[in-house]
Amino acid sequence: MKNVTVGEFIVETQNTFPGSSGELSKILSAIKLASKIVSHHINKAGLAKDILGSAGRDNVQGEDQQKLDVFANDTFINALSARGVICGVASEENDSYIAFDDKVNNDAKYVVLMDPLDGSSNIDVNVSVGTIFSVFRRISKQGSKVELADFLQAGDQQVAAGYLIYGSSTMLVYTTGTGVNGFTFDPGIGVFFLSHPDMKIPEDGKIYSVNEGNLAHFKQPVKEFIKFCQSEDTSNQKEPYSSRYIGSLVADFHRNLIKGGIYMYPSTKKSPNGKLRLTYECSPLAFLIEQANGRAISESGRIMDIVPSELHERVPYFVGSKNMVDQLEQMMHREDWKFQEKN
């Protein structure tokens, strides 16, 4: 089989869009470059000073920023601003969006939203982490400074989304709305090769991923669904599903995408909106999963339909194999179980 690099793939697919200006390709290329730098840096964690541990400050969401959060954030922002192909970026690690307010960038038509380092709490223990990104066409006028409204669009409006997983190998998985493709990084030559063409999540899965330590605080339908996952029903040949939870959304998502399964970060009594961020985490992975034949919902319905009201908004999140999400959704809508606070 011919080895296709991500660069070649981007150019080939770009040519299928009539009138394409190549800007999206340049954004993907900037992401590719930044990810190589971050991947290289992560691989040195434990050896080099100044990689592991806390940066000694909190982000706007009150979370302890890790040195690698800051490094990844700076690296992606620098790569994206240098190309002159986006007018601004919003990151989980910044209080507000950043406007690249100069002539070249103001003329650009896209914005990027990102979680530069997902799974921060796993960095120090050598467990997979990732980067999640999302690209939108701006709604404000080209040539002007980017505005908040450009970043607060429903997931449905995304033109591209993807993630990097820095795992046993580094992979780039992305969509531009015509399916999902995965590329594996060959560190020897510094190139991503197409390794997972046209990824589809199995319709049914046998893995459920949730932080079960929070079980007592979940609402009843979610508890009932977890009970179902654990149950055995010989008449239907239903065996208990496997519980798999890494604690890095990207890594849990990636495994479930390949094997089939459901990932859940439900609301709890303490966190009524769950933990995950709509714009940086939930929406991009929702776009990917839908392109791979799966589903992503919140308690209120389809993730991709939600219009964010603020940058760092959180939502309860359920994503994965279609039939598993369907089943959970049916349980959510059972009148007698409807989000009662009963434990």
Which residues inside 107-126 make contact with Mn ion, applying CB under 5 A? 115, 117-118
Contacts of 126 (CB under 8 A, 6+ apart): 45, 46
Instruction: Using the rule CB under 6 A, give the single segment among 1-9, 20-28, 231-239, 243-251 that binds ligand AHG.
Output: 243-251
Q: What are phi and psi of 268, to 5 degrees?
A: -125, 170
Look at residue 28 and give the partner it binds from ligand AHG, Mn ion, none, a contact being a CB closer than 5 to 8 Å depending on partner kind. none
Decide: residue 36, CB within 10 A, 0-12 exposed, 13-18 middle, 19+ buried: buried
Q: Output helix, strand, coil percentages for the chain, rounded to the nearest 5.
A: 35, 25, 40
Closest distance between Mn ion and the C-beta of residue 321, in Å? 22
Per CB under 6 A, 275 contacts ligand AHG: yes
Closest distance between Mn ion and the C-beta of residue 139, in Å? 26
Number of residues that bind Mn ion (CB under 5 A): 4
- Here's the x/- map for ligand AHG, 28-67, by CB under 6 A: it reads as -----------------------------------x----
Nearest to 130 by CA among 86, 174, 178, 180: 174
Whole-number Å distance between alpha carbons of 261 and 270: 26
Whole-number Å distance between alpha carbons of 264 and 208: 8
Number of residues that bind ligand AHG (CB under 6 A): 11
Per CB under 6 A, 249 contacts ligand AHG: yes
Per CB under 6 A, 211 contacts ligand AHG: yes
Closest distance between ligand AHG and the C-beta of residue 49, in Å? 22
Report helix, strand or coil for 175.
strand
> Of the two residues 150 and 281, which places its CB atom closer to Mn ion in the complex?
281
Per CB under 6 A, 23 contacts ligand AHG: no
Closest distance between Mn ion and the C-beta of residue 128, in Å? 12
- Rounded to 10°, the helix 67-82/23-43 angle is 150
Report helix, strand or coil for 209.
strand
Tell how strand 110-118 and strand 86-91 pair up: parallel
Which residues inside 105-124 make contact with ligand AHG, applying CB under 6 A? 115, 118-120
Closest distance between Mn ion and the C-beta of residue 66, in Å? 9
Give residues in contact with ligand AHG (CB under 6 A): 63, 92, 115, 118-120, 211, 247-249, 275
Give residues in contact with Mn ion (CB under 5 A): 92, 115, 117-118
